[in-house]
């Protein structure tokens, strides 16, 4: 009886500790957003762009960090959400931002279902090959369907209405920034519940030992496809936000470069940690922006040097390594 009570107390303490860390993390995110808003009032477009890419990297972390699926084609989900929201506005005249967001979620989820059904038929390096093939197919399809997507010229004519009929999307980007930040916080909270749920634990178990999960009676492939659909919906939120904030959708949203950079940001921050995905996105994009402005000719060299240093000296990513060091110090003190 005492052992059962001790286990229950331990579980409660762990839950309270996790909740406290989440609240602190959300408070830090809000504080960083507030600092960014007041520090860069004339560059809110960059901050909004960071939010859209952060949603893409979060969605990638779900399948790569938590499920162990190797992919270099995740921008297909992001671009599908962007085009779904843009087409709804440009071709059907439905300009409500919330309806456009729902269209982006649906477009990303459908793309996630299609991508997952194909990529999960292989393992390891063949998964990477299939993901690269898929991103190229999505890109070429969008290019050929120019009557719907605008092709290489991009999809224009997107004119979102004011949110709730009050907050207009102005040239300064204030509404887009606050709208994006609200979406990011909502998505982040939902994903924290997801990764700690029994389904999230199942996906982590599949990453560690799929054979044991199969022996327990669960279907790894079915679980991974479900996670791919969820990941597509999250990426679709980012794509729809990108379409709403920039009011144009280009083929670059479906590019291999977009997918590769998202993976780099995830590795930079740390896989298997939503906070790592966010920190990697912020660090990479700020570093890229400042370095490219300071040295337009050799900035890629500096970015490459940063990535090599992180991989060699912080293999768990910047956030992952910092969290590990803090955890070790706490264990030593206790």
The answer to whether residue 316 sits within a structural domain is: no
The answer to whether residue 262 sits within a structural domain is: no
The answer to whether residue 277 sits within a structural domain is: no
The pLDDT of residue 210 is 85
The pLDDT of residue 13 is 66
Mean pLDDT of all residues belonging to the chain: 88
Q: Is the pLDDT of residue 322 over 90?
A: no
The pLDDT of residue 194 is 94
Q: What is the mean pLDDT of residues 261-289?
A: 90
Q: Is the pLDDT of residue 3 over 50?
A: no
The pLDDT of residue 18 is 67
Query: Domain containing 58: what range?
Result: 39-255
pLDDT tens digits, 153-196: 999 989 999 998 888 888 778 899 999 999 999 999 999 999 99
The pLDDT of residue 12 is 63
The pLDDT of residue 302 is 85
Pick 326 or 157 by higher pLDDT: 157
Pick 329 or 152 by higher pLDDT: 152
Long-range Cβ contact pairs of 25-34 (< 8 A, separation 24 or more): 25/275, 26/185, 26/188, 26/189, 29/184, 29/185, 29/188, 29/278, 30/185, 32/282, 33/181
> Distance between CA 27 and CA 36 in Å, rounded?
14
Q: Is the pLDDT of residue 298 over 70?
A: yes
pLDDT tens digits, 217-261: 888 999 999 999 999 999 999 999 999 999 999 999 999 999 999
The pLDDT of residue 169 is 87
The pLDDT of residue 310 is 86
Q: Is the pLDDT of residue 4 over 90?
A: no
pLDDT band per the 50, 70, 90 thresholds, residue 289: confident
The answer to whether residue 142 sits within a structural domain is: yes
138: nearest Cα among 239, 263, 281, 247: 239
The answer to whether residue 46 sits within a structural domain is: yes
CA torsion 249-250-251-253 (nearest 10°) is: -60
Residue 226 has a CB neighbour count (10 Å cut-off) of 17
- Provide the number of structural domains found in the chain: 1
The pLDDT of residue 329 is 79
The pLDDT of residue 10 is 56
Q: Is the pLDDT of residue 6 over 60?
A: no
């Amino acid at each position: 009886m005492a052992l059962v009570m001790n286990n229950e107390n331990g579980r409660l303490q762990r839950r309270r500790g996790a909740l406290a860390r989440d609240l602190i993390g959300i408070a830090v995110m809000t504080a960083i957003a507030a600092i960014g808003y007041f520090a860069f009032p004339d560059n809110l477009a960059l901050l909004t762009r960071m939010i859209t890419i952060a949603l893409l990297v979060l969605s990638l972390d779900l399948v790569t960090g938590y499920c162990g699926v190797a992919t270099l084609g995740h921008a297909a989900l992001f671009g599908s959400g962007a085009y779904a929201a843009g087409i709804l506005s440009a071709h059907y005249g439905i300009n409500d931002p919330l309806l456009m967001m729902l269209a982006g979620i649906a477009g990303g989820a459908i793309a996630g279902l299609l991508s997952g059904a194909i990529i999960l038929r292989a393992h390891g390096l063949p998964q990477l090959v299939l993901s690269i093939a898929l991103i190229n197919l999505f890109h070429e399809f969008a290019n050929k369907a120019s009557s719907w997507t605008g092709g290489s010229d991009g999809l224009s004519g997107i004119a979102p209405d004011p949110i709730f009929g009050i907050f207009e999307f102005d040239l300064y980007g204030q509404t887009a920034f606050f709208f994006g930040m609200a979406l990011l916080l909502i998505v982040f909270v939902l994903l924290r519940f997801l990764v700690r749920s029994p389904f999230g634990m199942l996906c982590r178990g599949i990453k560690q030992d799929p054979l044991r999960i199969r022996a327990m009676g669960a279907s790894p492939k079915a679980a991974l496809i479900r996670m791919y659909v969820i990941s597509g919906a999250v990426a679709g939120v980012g794509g729809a936000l990108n379409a709403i904030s920039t009011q144009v959708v280009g083929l670059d949203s479906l590019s291999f470069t977009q997918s590769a950079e998202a993976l780099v940001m995830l590795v930079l921050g740390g896989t298997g940690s939503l906070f790592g995905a966010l920190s990697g996105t912020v660090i990479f994009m700020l570093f890229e922006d400042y370095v490219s402005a300071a040295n337009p000719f050799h900035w890629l060299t500096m970015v490459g040097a940063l990535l090599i240093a992180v991989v060699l000296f912080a293999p768990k990513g910047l956030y992952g390594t910092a969290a590990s060091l803090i955890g070790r110090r706490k264990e030593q003190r206790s």
